[in-house]
Each structure stands twice: as C-alpha cells, then as structure tokens.
C-alpha cells in the first residue's frame, strides 16, 4: 500500500515535468455550495497520465532504461509514456487498440513511440505488451496496476489539499483504478474526513460492481467498448488499485452516455475547459446525480484529460 512518503518522492520526481494544475471555479457556485475543477487536461500530454508515467520511468535504473519500455493503452497513457521516455532518452513501444482515437494515436507517434496495434479488448493489449517485454527485454510500464505509477498519479491529491484546504469531497474518474487509488491514498492519509468518490460510465461500471462485491468483477469487452468514454473502457480494475479503493474510497457512482456528453458541452461553453468524455464524468456526476453526493460546501472534480476527437467535440458543441 502507498504511504505519504511514496507520494512525496513522486512529487519531487515530477516537479518541473508535470504541470501543477490550478483549481478552476465553476461559474454559478455559492458560498454554501461551490465546485472547483482540477483540469489535468492542461498537462503537456493533455491528461494526468504524465505524472505516473514519468514517476515510473524515472525510477528505473540506467540499465533498465537502456533496454526500453513497453506499455499498453487506449491513448492517454500511451502519450504519457512516449513523452516521458523521450524526456529520459529511452525507447518506448506502445500497444494500442485499432479503434483508438486518431488524436491519441497521432500524438503518440509524434512523440517518437513505436506503436503496435491490436484488437479492442484491454486483455488483448495486456497480453501483447507482456509478449513484447518477454521477447525484447523491455521494461513494462503498466497503465494503472503499479504502485510507483499510482504514486505519480497520487501527486494530484496534495495539490488539491494545499490549494483548497477546506475541501470536503473529491470526485475522481475510474478506469483501471490507478488515478483514484493514488489520489484517495494521498487524501485519506492526510485528511481522512474528506470524502473521495469515484465516477464511471454505466456501460463500464466494473469498479462499482467490484466494490459492492468485495472482489474483482470483470466486464465483457463488447460492453465497455460501447461507452463514449474511451479512456474508461477497462474491463477490470487492477489488483493494487482495488486494494486502495477498498481502503480509501467512500463510494463509486455511475453516469449515462447522455450525461457525459452534456457535461462536455457545458464545460466547453460555460467553463471554457475542453474535456474528453472520460474527463467529463465527474462533472456529469455533480450535475445529474447530486442526490447521491454528500451535501458538501466545497467539492473538487478532477478533469482527467482533454484529448477529444475534433469531430466528437464539434458534434457535442452543436447539440442543443
């Protein structure tokens, strides 16, 4: 399990590489109930993943980095690994699904990574990355099931607590669990009274099912592939993140596809923040499921990324 020292080490490593993103007030808030956004969409790679990828790769020995790294990802982790590897002069090979966002594919290639395309299932991506690591000696950089990587993602937690000391509730997107695992550990170990709530699409609600069952639940790839939130199409939580979720997360709620798209539209038009569907789920929870949330005076919603396809963004903005 992560400790505060792990997260402090990660903060020192990522300083000057990952941006310390600001808190942005949501218009229309009141003194009795205010919402702030933590826009990780402003990171150099457009998503929070840079924190974890850089922390993981920079923690490797020089001999390990000389062998190169391999990762599997639907997009944001791919870009983060490519960016971090280039910054640390390391070769990166990334396994991505054939249906990955063109924006994310192109950005990963532009950062110098070698891309290997496979089918849409996350399990297939995992297997291919393991095969490449075995064949070529690459060092794996998992997208979420790794405590060093989770510590990097967890650096978001102390920033929230420092910038808004009176925060009462933090909303975090849930995919494989690395983001919420790291953030929840950082927050609860410092301020156990702060509520940490995960948010995921109804079509990919494996984390909610796992938390309720008390054991890992896996969803079929054809179901999770239906959500517009491509960054949250993981079939099952990682084992290490699940341990942290069970220990530190208060609740997980789900949102619909329509709620995600409406939240993207409002973020762009009213807050001037571009969020990809995966990043908009927390605002969707605040807008549409307020009765399920604590009646908090100060809430922070983590916007995990902003790498959205131009066509989808145009469609969302044109919808009334």
C-alpha 96: how far from chain center = 16
- Two tokens, residue 237: 């939580």
- Classify residue 273 by its DSSP letter: -
**d(C-alpha 301, C-alpha 289), whole Å:** 13
Calculate helix-pair angle for 239-248, 178-190, nearest 10 degrees. Answer: 40
| Mode of pairing for the β-strands spanning 92-97 and 169-173 | unpaired
**d(C-alpha 300, C-alpha 249), whole Å:** 15
In terms of C-beta density within 10 A (0-12 exposed, 13-18 middle, 19 or more buried), how is residue 138 classed?
buried
Widest CA span of the chain, in angstroms? 58
State the pLDDT at residue 32: 77
Specify the higher pLDDT residue, 309 or 172: 172
- Two tokens, residue 70: 């391999």
Question: Across the chain, what does the average pLDDT equal?
Answer: 95
Tens digit of pLDDT for each residue in 297-309? 999 999 999 999 8
Tell me which fold the domain 50-145 belongs to: Rossmann fold (3.40.50)
Per-residue CA distances from 311 to 5, 265, 318 (Å): 43, 13, 11
State the pLDDT at residue 211: 95
Tens digit of pLDDT for each residue in 71-89? 998 789 999 999 999 999 9
Express as a percent the part of the chain with pLDDT over 70: 99
Q: Determine how many CB atoms are found less than 10 A away from the CB of residue 15.
A: 10
Q: Taking Cα atoms as reference points, which of 37, 69, 38, 74 lies closest to residue 53?
A: 69
pLDDT band at 103 (very low <50, low <70, confident <90, very high): confident
- The counts of H helices and E strands in the chain are 15, 10
pLDDT band at 221 (very low <50, low <70, confident <90, very high): confident
pLDDT band at 169 (very low <50, low <70, confident <90, very high): very high
State the pLDDT at residue 75: 83
- Two tokens, residue 148: 């060093």
Answer yes or no: is pLDDT of 29 > 80. Answer: no
Answer yes or no: is pLDDT of 243 > 80. Answer: yes
Tell me which fold the domain 4-47+148-318 belongs to: Rossmann fold (3.40.50)
The domains of the chain are located at 4-47+148-318, 50-145
The reply to whether 50-145 shares the fold of 4-47+148-318 is yes
State the pLDDT at residue 17: 97
Q: Taking Cα atoms as reference points, which of 217, 212, 203 lies closest to residue 258?
A: 203
pTM: 0.94
- Report phi then psi at 123, rounded to 5: -65, -35
State the pLDDT at residue 155: 98
State the pLDDT at residue 163: 98
Long-range contacts: 89-96, Cβ < 8 Å, 24+?
89/65, 90/57, 90/65, 90/66, 91/138, 92/68, 93/68, 93/69, 93/132, 93/136, 93/138, 94/70, 95/70, 95/71, 95/125, 95/128, 95/129, 95/132, 96/72, 96/125
Q: Determine how many CB atoms are found less than 10 A away from the CB of residue 23.
A: 15
State the pLDDT at residue 121: 76
Q: Would you state the torsion angle of the CA atoms of residues 53, 159, 208, 292, taken in this order, to the nearest 10 degrees?
A: -160
């Amino acid at each position: 399990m992560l400790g505060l020292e792990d997260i402090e080490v990660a903060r020192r490593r990522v300083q000057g590489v990952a941006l310390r993103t600001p808190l942005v007030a949501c218009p229309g808030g009141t003194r009795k109930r205010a919402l702030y956004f933590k826009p990780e969409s402003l990171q150099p790679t457009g998503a929070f993943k840079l924190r974890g990828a850089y922390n993981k790769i920079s923690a490797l020995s020089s001999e390990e980095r000389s062998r190169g790294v391999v990762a599997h990802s639907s997009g944001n982790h791919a870009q983060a690994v490519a960016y971090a590897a280039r910054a640390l002069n390391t070769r990166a090979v990334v396994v991505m699904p054939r249906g990955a966002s063109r924006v994310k594919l192109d950005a990963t290639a532009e950062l110098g990574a070698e891309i290997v395309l496979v089918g849409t299932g996350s399990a297939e991506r995992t297997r291919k990355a393991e095969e490449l690591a075995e064949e070529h000696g690459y060092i794996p950089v998992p997208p979420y099931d790794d405590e060093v990587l989770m510590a990097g993602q967890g650096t978001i937690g102390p920033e929230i607590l420092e910038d808004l000391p009176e925060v009462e509730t933090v909303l975090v997107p849930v995919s494989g669990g690395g983001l919420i695992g790291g953030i929840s550990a950082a927050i609860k170990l410092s301020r156990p009274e702060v509520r940490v709530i995960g948010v995921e699409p109804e079509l990919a609600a494996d984390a909610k099912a796992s938390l309720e069952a008390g054991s890992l639940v896996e969803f079929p790839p054809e179901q999770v592939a239906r959500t517009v939130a491509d960054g949250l199409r993981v079939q099952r939580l990682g084992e290490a993140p699940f341990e942290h979720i069970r220990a530190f997360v208060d609740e997980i709620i789900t949102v619909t596809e329509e709620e995600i798209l409406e939240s993207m539209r409002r973020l762009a038009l009213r807050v001037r923040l571009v969020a990809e569907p995966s990043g908009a789920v927390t605002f969707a929870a605040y807008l549409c499921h307020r009765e399920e949330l604590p009646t908090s005076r100060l809430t922070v919603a983590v916007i995990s990324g902003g790498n959205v396809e131009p066509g989808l963004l145009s469609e969302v903005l044109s919808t009334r």
